[in-house]
Amino acid sequence: MPVHLECTEKTAVIRFDNPPANSLSATVLKELRSKLKELQLKITAGEIRAVVITGTGPKFFIAGADISRFPELDSKGGYELAREGQVIFEELSCLPCATIAAINGYALGGGMELAMACDIRLASANAQLGQPEINLGLIPGYGGTQRLTRLAGTGIAKELIFTGRNISAEEALRIGIINRVVTEGEVLDEALKLAKSIAGKPPLALRAAKEAIDKGLEMTLAMGVEAEAKHFGDLFSTEDQKEGARAFLEKRKPQFKGI
């Protein structure tokens, strides 16, 4: 199988294994969507609270789309291909838990777009990121023009998309695309540590925080802070909030149950 799902201790790992470059073939996209649906059920059941996504091997996270499909496509086929990837990446983005990209190598084209659909991105020191679609006479089609702009700003997004150049993990950190650069070979371990830390937090509050941030980007400031206040107030009706307050006052570690 080109996409593997491993679950343990309320943490899941999605691992791409499609040699030689972990490209996003039609089969890989189909498998990814299947794994996301499986994860959605596990998250709803309270079995999973954080998800890590990575690639197999030291060289490639995901090197992009399966370009061998491109010569045969017309405008309709190209549109349908873009929408297919966009829908799947939006399903990833909307998972009601934290998602972390452990970028273990090249993350190009659709690979960079998939990483940007995650909440948090850690990159190995040897990683390279880029949106090289312009070199094929194309633009990013799986959300790259939108997510890159929101992460790094209009000027940076235009430069990277117009030139198609790759950037190092250090440059990606400097311009705000990734959260942290990790020693080569250790990025998955660091991502799992972070995932386990997040998985120990109250899941209803995490879900509310993610929704407030993501939905707030689509609102005016006034609407966003109103939505924040609504989430804030709703959390006072949860048992986890009461447990968190009691644990703080009693100077002990809280036991969150997701209720």
- pLDDT on residue 4: 96
- pLDDT on residue 258: 87
- Give the residue from 126, 174, 180 showing the smallest Cα distance to 153: 174
**What domains lie within the chain, and their CATH numbers?**
3-199 (3.90.226.10), 203-249 (1.10.12.10)
- pLDDT on residue 184: 94
Cβ(133)–Cβ(63) below 8 Å: no
CB crowding 140-169: b at 16 or more within 10 Å, else e: bbbbbbebbeebbeeebbeebbeebebbeb
Residue type, 190: E
- pLDDT on residue 9: 86
- pLDDT on residue 193: 97
Residue type, 194: L
- pLDDT on residue 68: 84
Q: Which residues are catalytic?
A: 113, 133
Mean pLDDT by 10 residues, the chain (259 residues): 92 95 93 96 94 93 87 93 96 97 97 98 97 96 97 97 98 97 96 96 96 95 97 96 94 91
SS (H, E, C) the chain: CCEEEEEECCEEEEEECCCCCCCECHHHHHHHHHHHHHHHHHHHCCCCCEEEEEECCCCEEECCECHHHHHHCCHHHHHHHHHHHHHHHHHHHCCCCEEEEEECCEEECHHHHHHHCCCEEEEECCCEEECHHHHHCCCCCCCHHHHHHHHHCHHHHHHHHHHCCEEEHHHHHHCCCCCEEECCCCHHHHHHHHHHHHHCCCHHHHHHHHHHHHHHCCCCHHHHHHHHHHHHHHHCCCHHHHHHHHHHHCCCCCCCCCC
**CA diameter of the chain:** 66
Cβ(170)–Cβ(181) below 8 Å: yes
Strands 128-130 and 166-168: antiparallel
